[in-house]
Amino acid sequence: MVARVWSDLDDEIIGGDLTAALAYATPAAGTVVTPVAPIGLRDRPATTVGFTTSLGFGRKLDRISDNPRVALAYHAREHGFASGSRFVLVQGTASYDTEPDRETLEKRVGPASARFMGEPRRGLFWDRWLSAYYGDRVVVTVHVERVISWHDLACAGEPTVLGTPRPHGEPASQAPPKNGSGPRIDVTRAAQRISSLPHALLGYLGSDGFPMIVPVGVGPATAAGIQLKGRLPGGGRRAGLLAHRYEAQLIGLEARQHTGWLEEDVYAPHTETGFRAPANKTILLLANGYLARRGLKKARAMGRG
């Protein structure tokens, strides 16, 4: 592993994108793809990148503890500080501390967060209400194994690969789920919701166990599933699908997440989750505070924090 595992062009993207897509593995050898805020966290000489989350939103942390191999896709340029059309995929091993160093949070995470998302709300009410959201942040550090980058956001052509060599060929097909591989939710409704959002990404496990994330185009829905186009792996496998949009400082965002089965270029969604945050910072912070406090209580009951 060389000290400068990614290029200057990739570093601008990693350090400047407002949002990234995180993919982590499920116990059934599928993936979940979810949006995260990387806020420019990276240490190039140490070959690490990172993002923050809250113990109150800890399901992803549980999954990372079970299987620390993750991927981060830097795939969109809106509202951040990066420019250009590169798609940068980072694969590595994630770790975090449930009791992070407060000095690190205040001196490193705080200023980085303020740069991307504005200064935090302060005052008697906000300090109390957002204590779980601001005060119980967790820094997830990804020790980079490989950086795969394409010259455009559609991932056309052959990528540049730095770090650990990429396995040859696509991963072998997986065994279909015992309960059947066909859709388990309303496919037409799911396709309409996904199509209304500007970014769609597919995640699946590569042959070396690291998740892959690729951008996809969304086509029509049929009884078998949703037609996809892009750099698809072929064969049959469990896969995660994320479609999302976001506004400046992440004030106003929407995401639709699915797990399901990909057969060649047809995606059969099995589960569906989603959220929509209003384009109003006060309402957003009130909601974040409530969700973080509720989730943190649950996390502590489970011994996570």
pLDDT in tens, 292-302: 777 667 666 66
Q: Is the pLDDT of residue 218 over 90?
A: yes
Q: Is 105 helix (H, G, I), strand (E, B) or coil?
A: helix
Which tokens sit at 169?
């060929």
pLDDT in tens, 9-28: 999 999 999 999 999 999 99
d(CA 132, CA 126): 11
Domains of the chain: 8-301 (2.30.110.10)
As separate numbers, helices (DSSP H) first and strands (DSSP E) second, the chain gives: 8, 14
pLDDT in tens, 102-160: 777 777 888 898 899 888 888 888 888 887 776 667 889 999 999 999 999 999 999 99
d(CA 132, CA 122): 14
d(CA 32, CA 239): 8
d(CA 110, CA 94): 21
